[in-house]
Chain A
Amino acid sequence: MAELLKAEKITKRFGGLVAVSEVDFTVAPGEIAAIIGPNGAGKTTLFNMISGVYKPSGGRLFLNGTEITGLGPEQIAPLGVSRTFQNVRLFKPLSALENVLVGMHTQLQSGLFSTFLHTHRQRDEERAAMREAVRLLDYMGLKQFANEAAGSLPYGAQRRLEIARALATQPKLLMLDEPKAGMNPKETDELKDIIRRLRDELKITILLIDHDMKMVMSLAERIAVLDFGTKIAEGTPDEIKRNPLVIEAYLGRGAAS
């Protein structure tokens, strides 16, 4: 099986603190994979390394067989990795439509001079981009918010807009950092539907982080568990549920017995 994403002994140290320690990890194309772990286990740090926000202190990262270790986020994004953030990071005063259009930055060609000259190509490209952005908003059920400032949307809509913006980069791998944080149960169910649709309809591989077991267990096909920066388990949801190390990490020593 060819992996879409492969991490080899990936490590991140902040001074004396080892946030992520020699984690091996793969994501196969077309799967919904998840990384779980208690707070502070190093999940987001791992995400930040994959998306290029942090440079790994050690180890290597491969996307589709090409090494991406140490590349910056603006280099990794065009290769087909996109993400959302744990605390929503939209461009708040920009409209929802403009947020999605920013996501399309790397697919659009027009430079400064063609914009100044207002060439036919630039205008056509702009119109086509807007149509595509409206389509993405519609797909995420956000069309009615197209002209609203992103920061003024209801919270659940902001989360979905972040996914729409990430989709605009045409990712092969979409990484969702605690997508259900702050959502009510109804919104969480809708979100699960959306994530399944992204995979089934758009063939996008999903990698998500959460510390909430219930959500991950019902959605992910394969799960890796981090605790104190090391991978303590990996497997199907059923295997993870029964794994004594995982139970210990979540419930404390002695709970497994």
Chain B
Amino acid sequence: MNWLSRLLHDPRRAPIFLIAYTVAASVLMYIFALNFETWFFVLLLTSLLFLHLGNANRWLKLGLAALVIAVVIPLTGQENGALLNVSIMICINIALALGLNVVVGFAGLLDLGYVAFFATGAYVYSIFASPQAPRFLPHLFENLPMGLPGDYFWLFLPVAVFAAAGAGIALGLPVLRLRGDYLAIVTLGFGEIVRILANNLDKPLNITNGPQGITPIAKPALFGISLGKPVHFYFIGLVLMLIAITLIRRVENSRIGRAWAAMREDDVAARAMGVPLVKMKLMAFATGAAFAGAMGMVFAVKQTFINPESFTFMESIAILAMVILGGLGSIPGAIIGAVTVTVLRMQVLTELANWLTQFHLPPALNLAKYQPLIFGLILIIMMRYRRHGLLPARRHFVDIDALTADSPEPAPTAPARGA
């Protein structure tokens, strides 16, 4: 791989390579939209990784990346629905991995019940934008037998965000004094509580419709125009994901992000520096949960059907596997982890399973049932050979000379302060 790394760092050859590779992968992807899709899709996604790593003009890289995610994927997706479906799930999972990364990677609080917040967001919208709410609130929804129309999707985005953040605080409060293994167990329990609650809240008042789940969920609409096609969901997911990346990048190198890192590294020293642990922990739980809340809604409208089975412990583990695979505390890491795990789960595993059917293996050997094994292997291999992940977190570099150069006053030798 040395030649590749040299190629990507060569300021002369890298731009040419990036353009050639991205265009070639895009063309292949589009031509073979219906065949060999997984491998061409992986090729296309690799071009995004190269764009991240390559040494070239920032605008050129952004332009090529935009071409891939905003043109090639939706265009190909018109032909190939399965592919678009995977792409939507990638957007959702990137935002989930970034959110969990805030809690586990930045603040160092191991959370094994993260899917609970995803479920919160999904259920908050689904209950009201489906025939479910009219069932238990017949008077309020007298004229709306199908629940609220899709125009309310946008209104419900902040509602879901705050509901999930509230659930984050509800989880945060009882676990404030816990750390390590104990914290992991309680968060795991919290995730299960939310799932079991959704499973059983069909009586005495039928709020969640229990294991039968909720359907049909209103598709989003804007000014009466329905945005109900998968390609719309893709763009909604994409925009929300890009917002998530922007916000988390901003918070990473800020007063709040540093306080989280300090708390993670040494809580005694952090407190001695005046960092209020309670507030910071709750803030981390709420922030991480908020992103899951928004994405829960995208998931709900994409599926048009949700039930508690979509929010199992396995999902929490999958998101954690993404974060650890990519690199704890690393934003590019969470992204590459989410992409890898999603493609592995949805594409590679199913295709391998399909391919294996020709050998008439007993059903117990169905690869689709081996997901937990795959996650376990990912976690073990990463911990053993590459603890900091595929794209490890890098220390934020500050150009000291530039910082002091435009200083309004010449830097005195002693810090100015009151006595």
Contact = CB atoms under 8 A, between A and B. Distances in A.
Contacts of B273: 77, 82, 102-103, 105-106, 165-166, 168-169
Nearest to B261: A94
A245 interface: no
Interface residues of B, number: 40
Interface stretch (A20-28, A57-65, A132-140): A132-140
A60 to B, nearest CB: 21
B396 A95 contact: yes
B387 to A, nearest CB: 13
Contacts of B269: 85, 89-91
B254 interface: yes
Interface stretch (A9-17, A114-122, A218-226, A234-242): A114-122
A53 B261 CA distance: 20
A139 B271 contact: no
A149 B411 contact: no
Name the residue among B258, B287, B397 with the largest chain A CB count within 10 angstroms.
Answer: B258
Given A72-B271, A89-B268, A147 B397 contact: yes
Contacts of B256: 110-112, 115
Contacts of A77: 271-274
A115 B254 contact: yes
Interface stretch (B73-81, B179-187, B217-225, B400-408): B400-408
Interface stretch (A36-44, A123-131, A179-187): A123-131
Chain A interface SS verdict (over half)? helix
A116 B271 contact: no
B415 A135 contact: yes
Interface residues of A, number: 57
Interface stretch (B120-128, B275-283, B298-306): B275-283
Interface string B330-346: 00000000000000000
Given A85-B268, A115-B257, 6 more contacts: A89-B266, A95-B396, A127-B403, A130-B398, A202-B417, A203-B419
B272 A147 contact: no
A53 B250 CA distance: 32
Name the residue among A73, A110, A126, A136 with the largest chain B CB count within 10 angstroms.
Answer: A73
A83 B272 contact: yes
A116 B248 CA distance: 8
A124 B272 CA distance: 26
A111 B412 CA distance: 30
Given A95-B396, A130-B403, A116 B272 contact: no
A251 to B, nearest CB: 34
A180 to B, nearest CB: 19
Contacts of A108: 255
Interface string B235-276: 000000000000100110011111101100110111111111
A244 to B, nearest CB: 37
A132 B262 CA distance: 19
Name the residue among B251, B254, B266 with the largest chain A CB count within 10 angstroms.
Answer: B254
Contacts of A52: 271-272
B265 A115 contact: no
Contact of B395 (A110, A112, A149, A201): A149
A98 interface: yes
